[in-house]
A and B are shown apart, each in its own frame.
Chain A
Amino acid sequence: MSSVANLATRLEKLIGNDRVRASEAALQEVAIAGRAPMAVLKPRSAEEVAEIVSFAAAEKLAVVACGSRSKLELGKPPQRYDLALDLTGLCQIAHYDPGDLTLSVDAGMPLNELAKALAAKNQFLPLAVPCCSTSTVGGAIASGIDSSLRQLYGAPRDFLIGAEFVDGTGKQCKSGGRVVKNVTGYDLHKLLIGSLGTLAVITRLNFRAFPLPDLRSAHLAGFPTLEAALNFHASLLKSGLPFSNLELFDSNFSTLLAGFLNEVSGSALESLAKQGWHVFASFEGNTSVMERIQRELRECSAQAQAACSETLDMQSLQQLSGALQEVFDWLRRAAPCVALLRIVLPQFAAGDAMELQRLAKQSPLHSAFVLRAYNVAYLALLADAEDASTKTALERGVSELFSCVEAKKGAATLLHAPLWLKHRVNVWGTKRPDFPLMQRVKLAFDPQNIFAPGRFVGGI
């Protein structure tokens, strides 16, 4: 292992001294769970990334790639962390064919800048992920964090058509291509989605773009009971109406949501202050589609005996859609001590949701629950202090939730938690039968185990 000073000098020779930072302040910026690397590198090209990774592989240095660093906390803290690879220097749109609705973009490109370029051609990328004002395209894909438009547009695996990346041997590789239909070779780019940088350093991503919708609208309904809200939610799912987002949340979540909206915009919908459960539905299309869906939503709400039901105006729609896109970010900061779980169940019956809530509300904790698209729920365990009794309750709550979810043949992931808790529970849940196959994939991509070692499922 090289000394810090010597290492920085050698890295400067590799990519230039203006691309290497090793000051304490610079290192602390990229620290993960209190652990800082020895240097922060900001390559300008995929070739430089390859040189750095080759160097790291030869020296057996652990590399963590990052963009805006908004989701660096996901997973376990890496067991080793020598070099931070800041990819924000790779920020060009390499290729954009609006006529083909395809694009190829560098990993460090901020999502909001990309959105502007696409909007100029009346198109967009349905990566409605949290921390959208800073997130990079590469970070959105590597983190695998949920997009709030998944109900209509699918997950990234449905519109990521190719990727370029540097593997653990320092070679520049690619998979897929720039066309919307392609079965040439193994779909390696799908493996990169949600891999938290443990397989390769993503340098460029190819996507299928989508036309911006003519109009958007949304509806919010309130219900006195979970059963009524779930029935309404299920009836919307079964209706076949093309909702872009459908979310169901409890009153604690509503209160926190209202607090977040007040913080960012100075106002929040009055309906959110009402007790009980809410169902938010957003949709898009032409005028006649909007009218039809709004009409059916009013009818369904009436049949479901909703306590309140309203079509949102454009300002409320934008506020609420934006806040629901950002759930991960504000929910993790909603109390002094928060454990945020992502839970997938075969189905969320009322009994299931009640049981999860009960386990989350271990005294003195309170909780917030939101059921998102595709049987995914976020459940936050919130504590107003981080004292011994709170810690005990938090650990017990999270452990019992993992057991409960796995007993129901579901899966849970701890998206956010205090570091001490991450060390005490398995943030990824119990290993699944395909874990040995994942290890094989990891070894093939990263034979020296230099990419974010230990961060991923099962300690990969």
Chain B
Amino acid sequence: MDSALIRELRTLLGPANVLSQKEDLLLYEFDGSVEKGRPEAVVFPHTTGDVSRVVKLAAKYQVPVVGRGAGTGLSGGALARGGGVMVVFARMNRILELDLENRRAVVQPGVVNLDITRAVEHAGLYFAPDPSSQKSCTVGGNVAENSGGPHTLAYGLTTNHVAALELVLPDGEITRVGSRHGDTPGYDLCGLFVGSEGTLALVTEITVKLSRKAEAVKTLLAIFDAVGDASRTVVEMTASGITPAACEMLDGWTLRAVEDYIHAGFPRDSAAVLLIEVEGLREATESQAASIVEICNSNHAREVRSARDERERDLLWKGRRNAFGALGRLAPSNYVLDGVIPRSKLPEALEQIHAIGEKYGFQIGNIFHAGDGNLHPIVLYDPRDMEQFKRAIAAAEEIIRMCVALGGALTGEHGVGMEKNELMPLLFSDADFDLMRRIHDAFNPDSSLNPGKIFPLSKGCGEIRIRNSGQAAGTQA
């Protein structure tokens, strides 16, 4: 990178807010995915003005800019695939305003997801998107990736909880989309920018919608001796019109690993468990829970337990949320996939995942959002063994292809990033790419923002420049 740019960045933000030494940059070449891409400089803006000036400076030197929150993403969305300047929002982490009466919060992008809930829970409110990483991931990252979580089933993805955004465009212009209160005339630009993975603009302020905590919550743990029985329970529950707030599944192999680590109360000898939560009015949750128990029993559940108190509920959820950490004890690395299928195809999909695991010589675990058909197969591998790593990638690709063949999609909540951009043609035609490219170019014509993401490199924006920064694009861990 041009040393003059580094000097100008230091002058602009102060030396404490600019990193450019190789050993400092190493930390920022990873996220939660198996991808890798090192920036040439990392900056920590404190204000929207800082972000705008950094973007203008980067444009002057013609280097790409990549936004990043906590780096917990799972698709390489916040990696500097083309090198350049990484804008880390860690120091733009203030909750700017809480409007409890109208259930709105205005936050900077570096605010940690769970911190919004912590700030408003005294008023019986919370921020609904709940990725497993919610203790560390940032709202800015959630907006970029349109993150989900277990309770997406009832309450939707991040896009359903964002009212307005402040943006910095690639030329440094600061603008706003959406409306704090209610919808206003015009195209739903908020709907476009949320989930655009940092390829259209950098988000510098977010107005989120706050949800009201339900009056009653019932958390059930249904225990099964056969995976098929658990998956058929989900199908039947969905078809019968019951929409729980969350419906998570852990297969036997996964739950044993979790139980050894967390001691959440998952029976080690079971083949699968469903963690099901219903919320709402007391009268509704009681009857919904009763219907769910009936469906579980008719599908040969060994037992259906109900969390007796908040402590038991928290423990079950702790087991679910920390599952990926638990798996980290079993292998040097794991690859968490993210695919979606129609819920009616769940038993078939799980059988196929098992078969793909056998084909490639992996035990593939499943811990996922069963209620909305969002699969998270987990492949454990050793990244030092290149042959094993390649097999893991091949198995992953076959699973994603299977999801598409069943009528599903490439990603339910992790984003496309640089993990699946080459798989996009499985779903999209040249005409689709052509339109998406025109939308991309309407905001980011030089591909200076987050290049090499979403679009296949062969079909994407013609001008996407993958600069060789010593970390060749696509180079894996």
Contacts and interface: CB of A to CB of B under 8 A. Distances in A.
Interface of A: 97-102, 122-123, 154-155, 157-158, 167, 169, 171-175, 177-188, 190-191, 193-195, 199, 210-212, 240-242, 285-286, 288-289, 291-292, 344-347, 374-376, 409-411, 413, 428-429, 432-438, 440-445, 447, 456-457
A410 B181 CA distance: 8
B69 to A, nearest CB: 16
Interface stretch (B7-15, B152-160, B261-269): B152-160
Interface stretch (B60-68, B340-348, B353-361): B340-348
Given A242-B281, A286-B287, A179 B442 contact: no
A169 B239 CA distance: 40
A178 B192 contact: no
Interface stretch (B245-253, B298-306, B319-327, B433-441): B433-441
B146 A183 contact: yes
B188 interface: yes
Given A155-B183, A181-B374, A441-B439, A99 B409 contact: no
Given A171-B435, A190-B192, A178 B342 contact: yes
Nearest to A179: B340
A114 B146 CA distance: 30
Nearest to B184: A411
20 contacts: A101-B239, A101-B343, A167-B431, A174-B428, A184-B420, A186-B436, A191-B188, A194-B188, A211-B241, A240-B212, A240-B214, A242-B281, A289-B281, A346-B182, A409-B181, A434-B175, A434-B189, A438-B186, A441-B189, A444-B435
B281 A173 contact: no
A86 B91 CA distance: 54
A199 B185 CA distance: 15
Interface residues of B, number: 83
A184 B188 contact: no
Q: Which of B156, B184, B196, B435 has the most CB of A within 10 A?
A: B435
A186 B181 contact: no
Nearest to B445: A440
Interface stretch (B25-33, B328-336, B384-392, B411-419): B411-419
Contact of B191 (A157, A182, A436, A437): A157
B428 A183 contact: no
B177 interface: yes
Contact of A190 (B188, B281, B286, B410): B188
B191 A344 contact: no
Q: Report the 9 A-B pairs with minimum CB-CB distance, sorted nearest first.
A: A211-B241, A190-B191, A99-B344, A171-B431, A444-B438, A440-B442, A288-B283, A411-B184, A344-B182
B283 A286 contact: yes
B439 to A, nearest CB: 5
Contacts of B212: 240
A216 B336 CA distance: 43
Q: Which of A169, A181, A438 has the most CB of B within 10 A?
A: A181
A184 B409 contact: yes
Contacts of A292: 281, 283
B405 interface: no
